[in-house]
Structure 1
Amino acid sequence: MVKDWNNLHYALAVARAGTLSGAALELEVSHSTVLRRIDALEKALDTRLFHRHARGYVPTEAGRLLMSAAENMQDQLDQLVGRVQGVDEQLSGTLVITTVPNLVPQLMPIMRGFQRQNPQVRLQVVSERRQLRLEHGEAHIGIRPGARPTAPDYVVQAGITMQNTLYASEGYIRECGLMNSLDDIEGHRFISSVEDMPFIPYIDWVSRTVPETQVVFRCNEFGPFEEAARCGVGIAAMHCWSGESNPDLRRMLPPPEGWRTDLWLVTHRDMHRTRKVQLFLDWLKQALAELPPEIGIVS
């Protein structure tokens, strides 16, 4: 019984080359490695596959039968690999994109534009704060804000640096007024996260600066920040891509310098060069480059 199919690959190389040295050159391994593989295969089959001559290796009758079958297997494998690679190169099927929930509304017009141009591609969005594992096939493309992803075998490209600031509704501003600076918090109500997030500058600012009595509403996701601010609950810190696209919200202050968030485009190296992935990445990067600077800065 053949337990290591690589040994058959070595035997086929010997049959084609006629010598151990020729097979070793083709396979880019040592002469002794080829010999060890042939000996292991003959031992596993309990059959001599080659006659050893001074001029080289000649297949026995059993060897010719096995090499013929191996040739057919190799041809079928080559055809299968070609078809599989062809599937990756076809501009069709499903493209799975993962991002955080509060970026979905802003990305949706970009995705719709891509699909309008490429109707045969079905887009699937998985919105989670958790970073999906691209190496396990959970998604093809990740669009992630925050620190640069460092997982091995990931291809990470810079998207934009998103601006962030404070927003409130017109009704809230009529009630409580605008802020003149980040120090001007007296008399204002704020919206924040249920978690301490020192790695997110604007959430950390609320935690460090705003008295607990003025934080009147908390939620576990960033998406509800916008809805709470729109309803006049209080002032919410959010990325300007979201705030500027909502006509019911008004910017309270220019974006503070330290409140920027990097956006990363992430793929796995095994999928990075496929046609669908490259086409969508090009489309996305072009769309991000066209955003006004008050929303994002191209990295």
Structure 2
Amino acid sequence: MDWDKLRIFHAVADAGSLTHAGDTLHLSQSAVSRQVRALEESLNAILFHRHARGLILTEQGELLFDATRAMTKRLDAASARIRDSEDEVFGELRVTTTTGFGTLWLTPRLPQLYEKYPDLNVELMLEERVLDLPMREADVAIRMKEPSQADLIRKRLMSVQMRLYASAEYLDTRGYPETLNDVSKHRLICQNPNAPQVAVSATLVQKLIGYQPQSTLTVNNYYGVLQGVINNLGIGVLPDYVTHVFPDLVRVLPELENAEVPVFLAYPEELRHSRRIAAFRDFVQDEITAHRRAERGQGEVT
């Protein structure tokens, strides 16, 4: 098959429009249309249903689009590896992690990464959904559980404890819970126990709900839980690293905490030799080491 025609087909399928695909490819609509028709003729198949509102892939078109999408991702990976030089770190790096960890832990530390590698362009994708690294939905991930996908290089970075926190103002108004039974007098703010990356902390949340809190607020990420806590809505289930950013939070029922939540860094096997991945991995490890030393009173990493 002619790769030029496949490239144009892929752009049209992705855009859903001959005009938009032409803008992307810097080709006229008629040139794009001719290439798509020629590809259909060579395959003896109709690839698009043509409607006034745009183009919709046929079943045969879906099959071909799946193939060109996989080819494009492989080519992107190869291009990224070729662009990585031995002495420089530059180009695009797509990083995915949870909204809470990315907002509260990772983003505040990124100035150190950019200071060292000013030509690196990071696309930070914060969401609770676990992106498919082998299919190159992202280059590298920081996850709150060990990745289960095959063909990934994974490294355990650290552990997080889930604990209960509230604002001093909230506790002054509603009272300080002395025992778990006192949870029934308070509003509980937590992440949904069915969220994809918090299986360990779900046990703690379910235990607390068993004590019948007065009401609950569930949020799909820890940044939202934190906002509820600092705005005096109730007692929140939060990872312990939030106290590094908000040291005035008051820990509630300190004897209560769940098993450690492991934090893993993962990336596809095919990016093993990527300078960008190595730079990001080393940056994250250095930041964790610096924080641990600071906590032990030994100062920052020099």
Contact persistence 1:226–1:243 (CA under 8 A): no
Of the structure 1 ranges 216-225 and 263-272, higher mean CA displacement relative to structure 2 is found in: 216-225
| Structure 2 SS opposite 1:286 | helix
Of the structure 1 ranges 210-219 and 194-203, higher mean CA displacement relative to structure 2 is found in: 194-203
| Structure 2 SS opposite 1:103 | helix
**Equivalent residue for 2:41?**
none
Supply the distance in 1 between the matched residues of 2:118 and 2:157 (Cα, whole angstroms).
Answer: 25
Taking a change above 3 Å as real, the CA distance of residues 149 and 248 of structure 1, as seen in their structure-2 partners, is: same
Cα deviation, 1:211-249, whole Å, max 9, x if unaligned, reads: 445233222333211011111110000101123421452
Letter in 2 for 1:174: D
Taking a change above 3 Å as real, the CA distance of residues 260 and 126 of structure 1, as seen in their structure-2 partners, is: same
**Equivalent residue for 1:187?**
185
Supply the distance in 1 between the matched residues of 2:248 and 2:95 (Cα, whole angstroms).
Answer: 29
**What displacement does 1:261 show?**
0.7
**Equivalent residue for 2:246?**
246
**Equivalent residue for 1:174?**
172
The structure whose Rg is larger is: 1
| Structure 2 SS opposite 1:136 | coil
Letter in 1 for 2:183: I
Contact persistence 2:161–2:258 (CA under 8 A): no
1:110 aligns with 2:109: yes
Task: Indicate the RMSD between aligned Cα atoms, in angstroms.
Answer: 2.8
Taking a change above 3 Å as real, the CA distance of residues 85 and 206 of structure 1, as seen in their structure-2 partners, is: closer
**What displacement does 1:157 show?**
0.3
Taking a change above 3 Å as real, the CA distance of residues 135 and 194 of structure 1, as seen in their structure-2 partners, is: closer
Q: Can you give the 5+ residue segments of structure 2 that lack an aligned partner in the other structure?
A: 1-77, 296-302
**Equivalent residue for 1:38?**
none
**Equivalent residue for 1:231?**
231
1:88 aligns with 2:87: no
Aligned positions of 1:27-66 closer than 5 A:
none
Q: Can you give the 5+ residue segments of structure 1 that lack an aligned partner in the other structure?
A: 1-81
**What displacement does 1:177 show?**
2.8
**Equivalent residue for 1:68?**
none
**Equivalent residue for 2:34?**
none
Aligned positions of 1:250-269 closer than 5 A:
250-254=250-254, 256=256, 258-269=258-269
1:149 aligns with 2:147: yes
- Count, aligned residues: 213
**Equivalent residue for 2:23?**
none
Aligned positions of 1:14-33 closer than 5 A:
none
Supply the distance in 1 between the matched residues of 2:164 and 2:121 (Cα, whole angstroms).
Answer: 36
**Equivalent residue for 2:132?**
133
Taking a change above 3 Å as real, the CA distance of residues 212 and 178 of structure 1, as seen in their structure-2 partners, is: closer
1:161 aligns with 2:159: yes
TM-score when normalising by structure 2: 0.63
Letter in 2 for 1:151: Q
Supply the distance in 1 between the matched residues of 2:110 and 2:130 (Cα, whole angstroms).
Answer: 20
Question: Among residues 89, 94, 98, which one is paired with 2:96 in the alignment?
Answer: 98
Of the structure 1 ranges 149-158 and 181-190, higher mean CA displacement relative to structure 2 is found in: 181-190
Supply the distance in 2 between the matched residues of 1:139 and 1:220 (Cα, whole angstroms).
Answer: 21
Q: What is the aligned-residue identity percentage?
A: 22
Contact persistence 1:165–1:251 (CA under 8 A): yes
Of the structure 1 ranges 199-208 and 127-136, higher mean CA displacement relative to structure 2 is found in: 199-208
Cα deviation, 1:7-49, whole Å, max 9, x if unaligned, reads: xxxxxxxxxxxxxxxxxxxxxxxxxxxxxxxxxxxxxxxxxxx
Contact persistence 2:187–2:214 (CA under 8 A): yes
Supply the distance in 2 between the matched residues of 1:255 and 1:289 (Cα, whole angstroms).
Answer: 27
**What displacement does 1:265 show?**
0.3
Contact persistence 2:194–2:202 (CA under 8 A): yes
**Equivalent residue for 1:16?**
none
Taking a change above 3 Å as real, the CA distance of residues 193 and 158 of structure 1, as seen in their structure-2 partners, is: closer
TM-score when normalising by structure 1: 0.63
Taking a change above 3 Å as real, the CA distance of residues 243 and 84 of structure 1, as seen in their structure-2 partners, is: closer
Letter in 2 for 1:185: V
Cα deviation, 1:175-200, whole Å, max 9, x if unaligned, reads: 12333454542422211344546963
Taking a change above 3 Å as real, the CA distance of residues 212 and 265 of structure 1, as seen in their structure-2 partners, is: same
Supply the distance in 1 between the matched residues of 2:81 and 2:263 (Cα, whole angstroms).
Answer: 30
